[in-house]
Amino acid sequence: MSSVCAVEFNDDRPPALSDVSAYAVLERELQIGREIQAGFLPGQLPVPSGWELEAEFRPARQVAGDFYDVFDLAVSQRTAVIVADVCDKGVGAALFMALIRTLLRHTVETGGLHSMSTLGWDPRDGLPRVGEAPLLHAVNSTNRYLTRVHREQGYFATLFFGLFDASTGMVSYINCGHNPPLHVAADGRLLGELAPTGPAVGVLHSADFRVGRVQLKPGESLFLFTDGVTDCRSSDGEFFGEQRLIALASLPAPSARVQIERIVRALEEHGGDGEQHDDITLLVLRRCAETETQITARNGLS
């Protein structure tokens, strides 16, 4: 669904050699940018035993403003999942994607100890769980950096940043003005949507971010997506919409791969041959049902 960068040629005359040459240079540079950006996306997803993680990423142009990331936090033994959408598309958004992804990941991995009061954590709310202080620090400091240093450029990002504990199914998250992920039961019921717990990063310097929690029981899934999914338009301009997405997410499926392929196929059918207007990112996190985990363990698979 990726489109070729459009270059304007005047009227019906054949393009001049210099135009073609400039186009080729531009195309090559964009290809390099695309390859570098691909390096910012995870190659192989680290999937804990008893879990499934599947992602689909389709940029609207050569380079994208969407991104996703999945990585392990070794000391705290949590797995981080990020799905984000930088405003705008193309090269500008891609540059900010690289910046925001790096700030978030580096800070959550190396942030160290931070005063609970500096984090804006009210001690009367009890203690943060493992990973929640670095999570809050990563989002806070990324937001402060963007609003302090890059305020003039006006770029911002909505994002969902979650850390899950593979042993308990507990997911701690911050939803920064992002499309609420869908929490779906093993039988397909929609259990809830993870509403924003703060604004988009890069907008308000003194924004207040809170940590939310949700527990995934065996067989339950989280569907994370960017608005490229719900805003996918048909040839007559109809949006794919959240209801279609919920209906598809609610169909029983044997695996996260089946769940994601089903949605991707529906998006392709809905979009037809029309131009893809926005980057599409979709990630499914599924905790295997206990029977599946037992079978996996018996087979020595992870």
Partner 1 sequence: MTQIVSLYSYRGGTGRSTTAANVARLLAGDGARVAVVDTALHQPALHSLFGIDRLPEWTTFTDYLLGRCPLWNVVREVPLQPSGPLGTGGRLYALPACNLPYKIETIKNRGYDIGMLGEAFTLLSEELELDYLILDTSAGLSNETLAALAGSHTVVSLARSDRVDLNTARLNAELLQRLSTGRMMLVLSGTEGASPAGLDAEFEKAYGLPVTAILPAIAEVSEVSGQTLFVETFPEHVLTARYREIADALAAAA
Does 162 bind partner 1 (CB under 8 A)? Our answer is no
Among the listed residues 52, 54, 132, 227, the single contact to partner 1 using CB under 8 A? 132
The minimum distance between CB 166 and partner 1, in angstroms, equals: 14
Among the listed residues 34, 114, 233, 277, the single contact to partner 1 using CB under 8 A? 114
Phi, psi of 226 (to 5 degrees): -105, 170
Sequence letter at residue 274: G
Minimal CA–CA distance to 177: which of 155, 203, 153, 154? 203
Minimal CA–CA distance to 258: which of 208, 235, 292, 228? 292
Does 126 bind partner 1 (CB under 8 A)? Our answer is yes
Among the listed residues 50, 90, 131, 271, the single contact to partner 1 using CB under 8 A? 131
The minimum distance between CB 104 and partner 1, in angstroms, equals: 16
Stretch that binds partner 1, among 84-92, 124-132, 186-194, 266-274 (CB under 8 A): 124-132
Does 173 bind partner 1 (CB under 8 A)? Our answer is no
Does 212 bind partner 1 (CB under 8 A)? Our answer is no
Among the listed residues 128, 180, 199, 219, the single contact to partner 1 using CB under 8 A? 128
Q: Which regions of 182-220 does DSSP assign to beta strands (E)?
A: 182-184, 190-193, 212-215
* Structural contact between residues 228 and 278, judged by C-beta atoms closer than 8 angstroms: yes
- Give the Å distances, CA to CA, from 110 to 114, 133, 252, 268: 11, 12, 39, 40
The minimum distance between CB 73 and partner 1, in angstroms, equals: 8
Does 177 bind partner 1 (CB under 8 A)? Our answer is no
Ordered alpha helix ranges (H), the chain: 17-38, 90-110, 132-149, 227-230, 241-249, 256-271, 290-298
**Of 167 and 235, which CB lies nearer to partner 1 in the complex structure?**
167
Among the listed residues 42, 111, 218, 219, the single contact to partner 1 using CB under 8 A? 111
Give the single-character DSSP code of 61. S
**Of 81 and 119, which CB lies nearer to partner 1 in the complex structure?**
119
User: How far is the C-alpha of 253 from the C-alpha of 220, rounded, in Å?
Assistant: 11
The minimum distance between CB 117 and partner 1, in angstroms, equals: 7
Does 144 bind partner 1 (CB under 8 A)? Our answer is no
Contacts of 224 (CB under 8 A, 6+ apart): 68, 81, 83, 160, 162, 181, 281, 282, 283, 284, 285
Does 134 bind partner 1 (CB under 8 A)? Our answer is yes
Q: Please give the residues from 50 up to 89 whose contact with partner 1 meets the rule CB under 8 A.
A: 74-76
**Of 28 and 213, which CB lies nearer to partner 1 in the complex structure?**
213
Size of the site for partner 1 (CB under 8 A): 22
Write out the two tokens for 155: 């770029």
Does 113 bind partner 1 (CB under 8 A)? Our answer is yes
Binding residues for partner 1, rule: CB under 8 A, are 74-76, 111-117, 123-134
